[in-house]
Structure 1
Amino acid sequence: MHKMWVKGPVGADATYRVTRRACRNVLVMVPTMTAGARLMDLVPLLDGDHRVQTVFTVPHADEAWQYTAEFVSARGGLSLPWNQARQHTWDLVLAASHRHIEQVRGKLLILPHGAGNLMSRRYSRKARGATRPTTGLDAELLVYRGRVLPAVIALTHERELHALRRSCPEALPTAVIAGDICLDRMSASAPYRKQYRAALGIGDNDRLVTISSTWSASSTFGCHPDLYNRLLGEGGVVAAAVLHPMIWAVHGVWQVRSWLAPAIARGLRVIRPDAGWQATMIASDHVIGDHGSTTSYAAAIGRTVSLAAYPEHDIHKGSIADRLARHSPRLDMSKPIVPQLRGGVGRRNDMAKVISSRPGRAASILRTCMYRLLGLPEPSWRPSLCPVPLPSPLWI
């Protein structure tokens, strides 16, 4: 049964129950696990500030994607019911999705939930039966009843500014080129590669191949569900599976485990959908993937990459996925897999520059934006990026 109202730190009578008074109130919108995972890169920039109170909400929790509420709960976030969150005016709202942002009141900062704001897919799954070209910076996403919704749109690259100028010029004053905080965090975590491998049970002489899949029928898992078992059946490698959270949300944990059962029996490490994919990419020696963001992030931190699936007809030319595909070998599924895992995009590549034009600066730029919207001076300490957490496979 859903809570109707939470006696938390906001509301008309909150002053009588809070321990810290006069805090600026921040709302973190988590409509999907994917958006929540990206926001967990951002929210720690407020750590240590006793002037700020952060709460979470799962919009329309009664019909939200599966496991989203559990994602927030597992992180200890105080979660307000959606109807309650909509009643309050917030000092800052953080979002990594356009879902329901027109329904909240407060200064909104929005950033992409994947690699870049410009979607690699040519057609939106929601745009008129997937027949109309779209990007992640369209006016229909950013403007509601003539009002630009975000106070800050966090862009990752200059080319996104050019795209915004074409697609929604009225939003240009809100744009800030901030870089990519997820990539920065992964890069800063590279020195912990040995610890991440140990957490996965990978020895010094083991070769870890991670199979990454976005969701949809054109993804790695959608096209080649037998790839995991085939790879392990050939021997000579240890394998991990990183599946997009939407796969878990739509099909359920039981079904995903059932589908992967033969490979799990051979030692497949199945990474949790809510955490661990970043560390697994750092720990990997080779990544087999598709047009999803996780594959591009793997290439950007220097992992060698091969593509098992790639919907060429549905990818924007010049997009991040397109740039990756130009330099990544395609697996031939009629031949053994392991001998094909040679070369590909590796340590000498420009994928990091394709994803972000502000390398290493996202934390600093985004924190400055957050405190400007909060109307507070920034803390005296420098913003830092904590290492990504150790991976914790569901099954080994």
Structure 2
Amino acid sequence: MPQVLAELGACVLPWEQATRHRFDLAVAAAYGGLHELHAPIVVMAHGAGRGKRSRPRRAGGPVLADPVVYGLDGARLTRDGRVLASALILAHEDEREVLSRQCPEALDVAVLAGDPCFDRLVVSLPLRQRYRDAMGLGGAHRLVVVSSTWGGDGLFGGTPDLLPRLLDQLPAGFRVAALLHPAVWGAHGRRQVSAWLRDCRDAGLLLLDPTADWRGLVIAADCLIGDHGSVTVYAAAIGRPLLYVGGRRAATAPGSAHELVAAAAARLDPGRALLPQVRAARPLDAPAVAAALTSRPGQAGPQIRRTMYRLLRLRVPGRHRRPEPVPAPRFLGPDR
């Protein structure tokens, strides 16, 4: 991950240094160490809403019996009776209802904004052909995107032979692209991931650069094969034909877009012939998935912007601009 941040041009501070300074604003998509920061904190989800449940530990004690919706619970949002966030960005009205049960003291800082990632996907949909042209895909090409979250229960960790089998079984005219969670690259390093997939890349696999925006690739896809990660939810919300790897996860939050996708998507059976399954892939009910993902479509950018400027105690400059389309995907070049 430090290498990825360096390639993005980010200024990376040691945590010990960051916690000694006062900042005008902090934006967080995780919860560890927030109490050490000296700044107003905007807390956002780091995926498709708060669609997962977890069993938190009581401080100094065992894992609690009842699972909670991750990111909306007092164990993560409070410290010593104090709410850590100055603003808690929510994507859906249902999240506010969950928050009222799990951590009512944080309701005062909750901001119902919607999902900025989904909004940019929607704005970018008309550019689908441009993304495909940038990838060298002709009208007859069928693009199969394989998306994996991190960990042993992710597609890449749990079904490592799927990519080579797809490349072996799909005929000419099909292209296969892989989209791996940043934590996969961070845990193993670019060199190791590239080495694992070298034979696949030699066989034609397109491997998304970990510093590149993934959304253009999902828009360009004719079929997405995904797991319980957020990319699968976003693909379903914009109507991409979908195949799901893995069973219905008990860890999905009730009523969430994650649960809807896990319940409704057709399962890929890695042990059966893959070509008929890919050809049979169909979209889910995209409006239903989108409605479970965000209750403020198209509004996230302006609302988050107003919230940040309020915390900065500054006037919002200029006029609101429409969300910009995402850039074309970039892939790793040949290994040196």
The two structures have a TM-score, normalised by structure 1, of 0.77
| Mapped pair 1:323 → 2:260 | yes
| Mapped pair 1:120 → 2:48 | no
Per mean C-alpha deviation after superposition, the further-off stretch among 352-361 and 332-341 is 332-341
How far 1:124 sits from its partner (Å)?
A: 6.2
The residue that corresponds to 1:194 in the other structure is: 129
Q: Which amino acid aligns with 2:101?
A: R
* Aligned 8 A contact 2:237 2:286 in 1: no
The residue that corresponds to 1:133 in the other structure is: 67
Per mean C-alpha deviation after superposition, the further-off stretch among 345-354 and 366-375 is 345-354
3-state DSSP of counterpart to 2:127: helix
The change in CA–CA distance for 1:251 and 1:132 in structure 2 (over 3 A counts) is farther
* Aligned 8 A contact 1:119 1:136 in 2: no
Per mean C-alpha deviation after superposition, the further-off stretch among 320-329 and 336-345 is 336-345
3-state DSSP of counterpart to 1:239: strand
How far 1:147 sits from its partner (Å)?
A: 1.3
| Mapped pair 1:216 → 2:216 | no
The change in CA–CA distance for 1:154 and 1:264 in structure 2 (over 3 A counts) is same
* Aligned 8 A contact 1:367 1:383 in 2: no
Counterpart CA distance in 1 for 2:246 and 2:331 is: 24
Match of 2:306 among 364, 368, 376: 368
Q: Which amino acid aligns with 1:97?
A: A
Per chain length, whose mean CA-contact separation is higher, i.e. which structure has more relative contact order (CA < 8 Å, sep 6+)?
2
How far 1:308 sits from its partner (Å)?
A: 1.7
3-state DSSP of counterpart to 2:332: coil
Match of 1:256 among 171, 187, 193: 193
How far 1:376 sits from its partner (Å)?
A: 1.1
How far 1:356 sits from its partner (Å)?
A: 0.7
The change in CA–CA distance for 1:101 and 1:122 in structure 2 (over 3 A counts) is closer
* Aligned 8 A contact 1:290 1:310 in 2: no
How far 1:133 sits from its partner (Å)?
A: 1.6
Identity %: 40
How far 1:129 sits from its partner (Å)?
A: 6.4
The change in CA–CA distance for 1:78 and 1:262 in structure 2 (over 3 A counts) is closer
Counterpart CA distance in 2 for 1:125 and 1:273 is: 32
| Mapped pair 1:230 → 2:165 | yes
3-state DSSP of counterpart to 1:209: strand
Deviations along 1:34-68, whole A, 9 cap, x unmatched? xxxxxxxxxxxxxxxxxxxxxxxxxxxxxxxxx2x
How far 1:172 sits from its partner (Å)?
A: 0.4
Counterpart CA distance in 1 for 2:195 and 2:110 is: 45
The change in CA–CA distance for 1:365 and 1:287 in structure 2 (over 3 A counts) is same
The residue that corresponds to 1:305 in the other structure is: 242
The residue that corresponds to 2:319 in the other structure is: 381
How far 1:282 sits from its partner (Å)?
A: 0.8
How far 1:348 sits from its partner (Å)?
A: 4.5
* Aligned 8 A contact 1:188 1:385 in 2: yes
Counterpart CA distance in 2 for 1:131 and 1:229 is: 40
The two structures have a TM-score, normalised by structure 2, of 0.90
* Aligned 8 A contact 1:300 1:352 in 2: yes
| Mapped pair 1:144 → 2:79 | yes
Match of 1:164 among 99, 114, 138: 99
Q: Which amino acid aligns with 1:73?
A: A
The change in CA–CA distance for 1:348 and 1:174 in structure 2 (over 3 A counts) is closer
* Aligned 8 A contact 1:269 1:395 in 2: no
The residue that corresponds to 2:110 in the other structure is: 175
Q: Which amino acid aligns with 1:214?
A: T
3-state DSSP of counterpart to 1:94: strand
Q: Which amino acid aligns with 1:106?
A: A
How far 1:261 sits from its partner (Å)?
A: 2.5
Correspondence 1:1-396 to 2 at 5 A: 67=1, 69-116=2-49, 118-123=50-55, 133-134=67-68, 135-236=70-171, 237-310=174-247, 312-341=249-278, 342-346=280-284, 348-395=286-333
Counterpart CA distance in 1 for 2:58 and 2:264 is: 30
The change in CA–CA distance for 1:316 and 1:347 in structure 2 (over 3 A counts) is closer
How far 1:125 sits from its partner (Å)?
A: 10
The change in CA–CA distance for 1:162 and 1:126 in structure 2 (over 3 A counts) is same
The number of aligned residues is 328
* Aligned 8 A contact 1:304 1:344 in 2: yes
Counterpart CA distance in 1 for 2:182 and 2:218 is: 16
Deviations along 1:269-314, whole A, 9 cap, x unmatched? 0112232311110111110001100111111111111112235344
Q: Which amino acid aligns with 2:9?
A: G
**Unmatched 5+ stretches in structure 1:** 1-66
Per mean C-alpha deviation after superposition, the further-off stretch among 184-193 and 346-355 is 346-355
* Aligned 8 A contact 2:243 2:266 in 1: yes
**Unmatched 5+ stretches in structure 2:** none
